[in-house]
Structure 1
Amino acid sequence: MKSKILIFIIIVSVLTALFAVPAMAASNIVKITRPDGNEVVEKPVFSICGVCTYDETFIEFEYWDKVTEKFQPLETTDGDLTFKVGSSKLFGKNVELKYKGENHIKVIAYTKATKDDPQTKDYTIIYAAEKKSLLDNIRNWLLDKF
């Protein structure tokens, strides 16, 4: 009788480790620290930063392509489509926004155990034209006149 209970406990433990833990972990793989919600920016290069829960975390960015109406891979300014966050658990990457106006960016994070069920988070980053200072406007006016 004791051996049957012991076997049952072992089976439940193994099944929990295989199925329940990865499913619970998928929702807490990374905490994005920037953007902190949707943002309006004045520069075409935007930084995305975060803190990972696990050492071997993989991060991908995607943007909403207005032509194909699908999410497409978004390269970092380093040329990476996917990058691995190591033992520091911190990351910060720059991406170039594709459009003036609204840019829908998706952050995808997963580990080897949760690759089939990644954590995703969507953001809207609005790229407004760079503001010119009053001094720049005066300088440009003077250059045009003289």
Structure 2
Amino acid sequence: MNIRVANESDLPELAELYHQTVQTHGLRYYTVEQTQIWASFALNKRLFRKFILDVTTFLAVNETGILGFAGIGTDGHIASLYVRHDCLHQGIGTALMNAMLEYGKNEEIKRFYAEASRFSLGLFKKFGFQVYDTEVVERKGVEFQRDLVDLSIN
């Protein structure tokens, strides 16, 4: 497995990975309606492009294609962290989190933060992120609860 930065040509494969992963595993934590709305985000090409390319998005890749992706902003905001639906629990999320944290340290970021879904909260906690609040967001008339997590580096 190699880690590299995403580019424009990766967008179709990333959108498919996102959509399939949410559809396949979202129902463990969310209702059918929540899962469908969450997954549909990848269908909006303009917003999905911004989601991937407006931050530094790292990709985990091997000979089968993209295994996962994770994006981080210059302010330490972790914008995304997704692993391909058939590759969970193989260390890919860990590798991507390590890449983001290393990038952040090189950029002298002192605080990392994210809005963690129930799906990803365990990985954040594994790296020492703490839940400091929860929020409810609305997407297309459907509410989602997310945990706000952060990690400070001294």
For normalisation by structure 1, the TM-score amounts to: 0.25
Pick the structure with more strand per residue.
1
Compare relative contact order (CA 8 Å, sep 6+) and give the higher one, 1 or 2.
Answer: 1
Pick the structure with more helix per residue.
2
Larger Rg: 1
